[in-house]
Each structure stands twice: as structure tokens, then as C-alpha cells.
Amino acid sequence: MSLGGTVLQVGPLRSSLEHALTDDHAAVRLPESDPQRAAFLAERGNDVTVVVTSGHARIDDDLMAALPKLGAVVNFGVGYEHIDVESAAKRGVAVSNTPDVLTDCVADTAVGLIIDTMRQFSATDRYVRAGRWPVDGDYPLTRQVSRTSVGIIGLGRIGSAIALRLSAFGCTISYHNRRRVPDTVYAYVESPVDLARAVDVLVVAAAGGEGTRALVDHEVIDALGPRGYLINIARGSVVDEDALVAALLEGRLAGAGLDVFDDEPRVPEQLFALESVVLLPHVGSATEQTRAAMEALTLRNLDSFLTTGAVVTPV
């Protein structure tokens, strides 16, 4: 069985993936400028059966409407909030992502951010490089990571991997989810506010999208308090960024470790001067091994759909 049709790349992708799409599938790329995009869709939209994309592009109902033979949206990445999955379902369009293969690296990043934020290793590195140690003396004391209490918002694949790692540190783990996770040893807490109030560190590992926008709001941040730390490796949209910045500037939060932001690649400049904050450029899964595995799974989903009409990892 072969479905044929045109494979359409929407938005930028990893260069090796772009080459594979071009060489193996004669993929074409959707122009980014509005006039060229409209002309392309009018001329070629009826030929497209598969879209391959990533979090850098929006796949909305209007685009799907312009692709009447679209059967699948193949996404390079685990997050799919940039894809209108409800419209896709109504149109019978399959949507796939790349789960599992990036779990370990993102969980590693979360633990690294916790350690760096609480122990301030990046800040102490800058302290040494600036020549301040012999002049100003020892760096001020920081907070211990082991045996702290950690709350995780979103105990899915990544949240569970974070919890497993932190358990080895002797941390007490509790979590909040839309629903309880069966057969887990970790304590369930009914609301993000109650979870924040009960822990030293709050880790955001929930999926993005409108359903979780500003889930961590000013009330949650205030409940975490001036001795609490916020770590976000999920999506910037899950945290009310204005409330977070205000709390950090006013000392109402001890610190934050952030790999994601609400308007990437723009980061609130007010955070740049704060030694209590660690800022990463969305590198949670950015290792050679993980990106290669993500690419391989993306191509498996594409090949599977083109030959069988079904994707391997549907969302």
C-alpha cells in the first residue's frame, strides 16, 4: 500500500532531517511569506498528503483547510500545542510526535537546573572568572539539594523520570496532575497552589497548550514563597511569566531555573542580572543522541503513514 502525494515541510527542521525529506521523499517546503504561501497553497495544496513540522510553525485549521487531501501531521518533538489537534481529529488527520526518546535528556536537564539554581554553580563560576574570590572572599552559602521536598506538576513520562532521579537524592516527591497516577509511590496533591505551598522546589513538567496556559500563576508562585524555587522544563506558556519575573525581582521567590520561555527566543531582560536565576536557551533535549533518535522516529512515522496509512506514535 502506498498513499503517494506530496510531503510538505512546514517551518524549519534539523538540517539532516530536511535533507532526508528532500532526498527520500521529494518533500517541498511551504513558503513563509504570505503572498508566496497563498500562491503555493492554491497551486499545490491539493497534492499534499503529509505535513512534517516542528514547534517552530503553527499548523492551524486554516492551513489544514487549504490541504484537502492531508492525512497526517508528523511532528518533530514531543510537544504538539502548535498543532490544532481538535481540527485535525475532525478532519480525520492523524497527528504524531516523538515521545519517550527525549525523556531522559529532559529529565537530566531538570535535575541539572535544580542543582545549578539551588547551589548557584553558574553564579559561582562567574564569581571565580571575575576574579572576585581573592578580593571578596568565599561565596555566600547556598541551599542543599539532597533531601529537599520537590513537587512536580505533570507526572507523565518526563515528570516520572525526574521523580526517579530525585528519589536517588533522598528527596521527598509529591505531584499534581489532572488525574491521579495509579500505582505510584509519590503523594498526590489536589491543586498546584497546595503543591507549591508544601514543597521547597516546584518542577513544571506539564504539557503546553491552552489547557495549561498560566497554570502556574501568581497564586502558585506566592504559595511557593521566598524560600522556594521554580524549575520549568515544559513550556513557557505554563507559567505566568510576568508574575514570575515580578516575584524574582521583589525577592518573593528564592530562585528559578528556566529552559523555556513564553515568547522564545525572547527572554525577559530583567532576569539577566539576577544571580538567583539560571537561564537556558531551550536545550532540554539538545543532545546529539536525542535529536538523532527524534529524527529517526519522525521518519518512521512518515514512512509508516505513507505505506500503511497509520503513524507509529499518534498523540
DSSP-assigned letters across all residues of 118-153: HHTHHHHHHHHHTT-HHHH-SPPP----TT-EEEEE
pLDDT of residue 3: 67
**Is residue 315 a part of any domain in this protein?**
no
Q: Residues 29, 143, 157, 282: which is the catalytic one? A: 282
Do 81 and 108 reside in the same domain of the chain?
Answer: no
Q: Residues 81, 235, 241, 295: which is the catalytic one? A: 235
- DSSP labels for 49-80? EEEEEETTS-B-HHHHHT-TT--EEEEESS--
**Is residue 28 a part of any domain in this protein?**
yes
pLDDT of residue 2: 52
218 is a catalytic site residue:
no
Residue 231's φ and ψ, nearest 5 degrees, are -125, 125
pLDDT of residue 1: 43
Do 155 and 91 reside in the same domain of the chain?
Answer: no
Do 266 and 239 reside in the same domain of the chain?
Answer: yes
pLDDT of residue 177: 95
Do 94 and 108 reside in the same domain of the chain?
Answer: no
Do 108 and 31 reside in the same domain of the chain?
Answer: no
Query: What is the amino acid identity at position 282?
Result: H
282 is a catalytic site residue:
yes
Report the DSSP beta bridge partners of residue 7.
50
Determine the Cα–Cα distance for residues 12 and 29; give it in Å rounded to an integer. 9
Do 214 and 273 reside in the same domain of the chain?
Answer: yes
Count the helix, strand and coil residues of the chain and give each as a percent rounded to the nearest 5: 40, 20, 40
Domain that holds residue 13: 6-100+289-308
Do 229 and 249 reside in the same domain of the chain?
Answer: yes
CATH value at residue 64: 3.40.50.720
Residue 113 CB contacts under 8 Å (≥ 6 apart), including other chains: 231, 233, 257, 258, 259, 278, 280
pLDDT of residue 193: 98
- Could you state, in chain order, the average pLDDT of each consecutive group of 10 residues for the chain (315 residues)? 81 96 97 93 96 95 97 95 96 97 97 98 98 98 98 97 98 96 96 98 94 96 98 97 98 98 96 97 96 97 96 97
**Is residue 125 a part of any domain in this protein?**
yes
